[in-house]
């Protein structure tokens, strides 16, 4: 852990990282808060699901747009106004939900716009890591720390909402979400790392069209691979709820299934980031994706055999060990395949691929669970991840920096 402590003792690193973690807690609390608010005040899970779904769609669409804007104008000049606007829209959505005279059709529209203007803090922080940590090995530790923080956010966010709900104020979770979003973004934007992340100095290099990055075969292949992996991960999320209901009798006991895989991901990220690897990132991604897919096959077999929890928990933990390393390797590949003046947009596209893939996986898993049960859903998740691994194998030569001069290709696009 000494490498991580050394990073956090550096104020240039610690200040933007801690502020970005605070600002990113709403990534976990906003969707769940919307579900709870709409369900409580409008008495409709269908409407709650629609509102949350379009919020995620807006987030996925807006992220690359704001990533490119950060590259051109600098992070603070983009993040501060859109964080304020998104926060205001979430407050407006909260009020509209509470005021029953507002038609239900208005709520998804407000949610979509709030998602469109949601600040892309994860891509911003990934770009900042590249500025504040120039050594590649230390930067990999930073990416690992970031991946573990995001993992902790998705575990801790629901716990925070659970505590707030004890006060029996339905609007409180979203009010706290807005406070964390705006306050954290302001604190992040005021750090030297955020101000140096990108901006006017890079304008000359971003003259290409908004889709210039998508003309790079190497970059597009990476997005496809990570989207396929995320489809598998999204299926796993929902499948674990079905598996908990099947084995324990209640989907509310999802924590029994989720804790070992989330804990494994945190441990795997920290261990992976602390090592000095000789193999390039593209080969390590192939290994971790293959291990992820094969371990999911084992989980599916155990689920089909009605294996006891004592057998499932260690396998879920081992499966989790491979998750964060996939994300860390992908982020490093973005560094290698993207010119510095495109990094914010590139990392935003990566986030969009992951978000969209997870949303597709969530949707697919529900239908498969209803028809065929947890084993079939987990088998499908394993297949999606192994397809991603196959794509990684095919992309090895394309991702070789000696062959893929992506920066030059991107800059020649009119």
Which H/E stretch holds residue 332? Answer: helix 323-337
**Residue 411 domain-assigned (yes or no):** no
**Both 130 and 167 in a single domain?**
yes
- Alpha-carbon distance 243 to 169, whole Å? 32
**Residue 368 domain-assigned (yes or no):** yes
- Here the CATH number for the domain that contains residue 273 is 1.20.1250.20
Which pLDDT tens digit goes with each residue over 32-48?
A: 777 777 877 877 767 87
What is the residue whose two structure tokens read 């390039």? 280
**Both 246 and 192 in a single domain?**
no
Question: Regarding predicted confidence, which is higher, 403 or 296?
Answer: 296
Last-in-domain residue among 185, 207, 229: 207
Which pLDDT tens digit goes with each residue over 349-380?
A: 888 888 788 778 877 877 787 787 888 889 99
Q: What is the mean pLDDT of residues 282-310?
A: 89
- Alpha-carbon distance 318 to 296, whole Å? 10
Question: Sorting pLDDT into bands at 50, 70 and 90, what band is 267?
Answer: confident
**Both 274 and 354 in a single domain?**
yes
Which pLDDT tens digit goes with each residue over 79-111?
A: 999 999 999 999 998 889 888 888 988 999 999
Number of domains in the chain: 2
Q: For residue 197, what are its two tokens? A: 């992340």
**Both 85 and 146 in a single domain?**
yes
**Both 135 and 7 in a single domain?**
yes
Tell whether the model's pLDDT for residue 190 goes beyond 60: yes
As a whole number of Å, the end-to-end CA separation of the chain is 46
Question: Sorting pLDDT into bands at 50, 70 and 90, what band is 251?
Answer: very low
What is the residue whose two structure tokens read 């600040």? 119
Tell whether the model's pLDDT for residue 51 goes beyond 70: yes
Predicted TM-score of the model (pTM): 0.75
Q: What is the extent of the structural domain holding 95?
A: 1-207
| Residue from 372, 206, 389 nearest 287 by CA | 389
Tell whether the model's pLDDT for residue 118 goes beyond 80: yes
Question: Regarding predicted confidence, which is higher, 242 or 175?
Answer: 175
Which pLDDT tens digit goes with each residue over 192-201?
A: 888 876 554 4
pLDDT on residue 384: 95
Report the interhelical angle of 11-42 vs 136-165 (nearest 10°): 30
């Amino acid at each position: 852990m000494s490498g991580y402590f050394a990073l956090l003792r550096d104020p240039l690193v610690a200040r933007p990282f801690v502020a970005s973690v605070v600002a990113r807690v709403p990534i976990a609390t906003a969707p769940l808060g919307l579900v709870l608010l709409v369900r409580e005040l409008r008495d409709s899970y269908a409407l709650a699901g629609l509102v949350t779904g379009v919020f995620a769609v807006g987030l996925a669409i807006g992220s690359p747009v704001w990533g490119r804007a950060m590259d051109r104008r600098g992070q603070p000049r983009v993040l501060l106004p859109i964080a304020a606007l998104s926060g205001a829209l979430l407050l407006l959505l909260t009020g509209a939900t509470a005021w029953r005279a507002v038609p239900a059709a208005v709520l998804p529209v407000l949610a979509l716009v709030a998602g469109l203007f949601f600040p892309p803090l994860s891509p911003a922080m990934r770009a900042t890591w590249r500025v504040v940590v120039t050594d590649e090995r230390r930067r990999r530790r930073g990416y690992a720390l970031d991946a573990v923080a995001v993992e902790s956010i998705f575990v801790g966010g629901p716990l925070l909402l659970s505590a707030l709900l004890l006060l029996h104020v339905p609007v409180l979770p979203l009010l706290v979400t807005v406070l964390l979003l705006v306050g954290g973004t302001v604190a992040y934007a005021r750090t030297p790392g955020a101000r140096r992340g990108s901006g006017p100095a890079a304008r000359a290099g971003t003259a290409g069209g908004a889709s210039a990055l998508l003309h790079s075969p190497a970059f597009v292949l990476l997005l496809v691979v990570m989207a396929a992996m995320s489809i598998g991960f999204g299926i796993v999320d929902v499948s674990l709820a079905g598996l908990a209901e099947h084995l324990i009798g209640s989907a509310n006991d999802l924590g029994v299934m989720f804790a070992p895989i989330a804990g494994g991901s945190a441990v795997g990220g920290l261990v992976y980031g602390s090592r000095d690897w000789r193999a390039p990132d593209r080969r390590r991604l192939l290994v971790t994706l293959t291990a992820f897919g094969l371990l999911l096959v084992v989980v599916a077999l155990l689920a089909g055999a009605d294996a006891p929890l004592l057998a499932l928990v260690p396998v879920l933990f081992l499966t989790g060990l491979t998750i964060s390393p996939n994300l860390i390797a992908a982020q490093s590949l973005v560094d290698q395949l993207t010119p510095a003046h495109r990094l914010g947009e590139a990392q935003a596209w990566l986030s969009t691929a992951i978000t969209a893939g997870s949303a597709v996986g969530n949707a697919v898993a529900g239908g498969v669970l209803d028809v065929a049960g947890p084993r079939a859903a987990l088998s499908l998740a394993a297949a999606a991840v192994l397809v991603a691994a196959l794509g990684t194998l095919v992309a090895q030569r394309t991702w070789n920096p000696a062959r893929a001069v992506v920066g030059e290709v991107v800059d020649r696009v009119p």
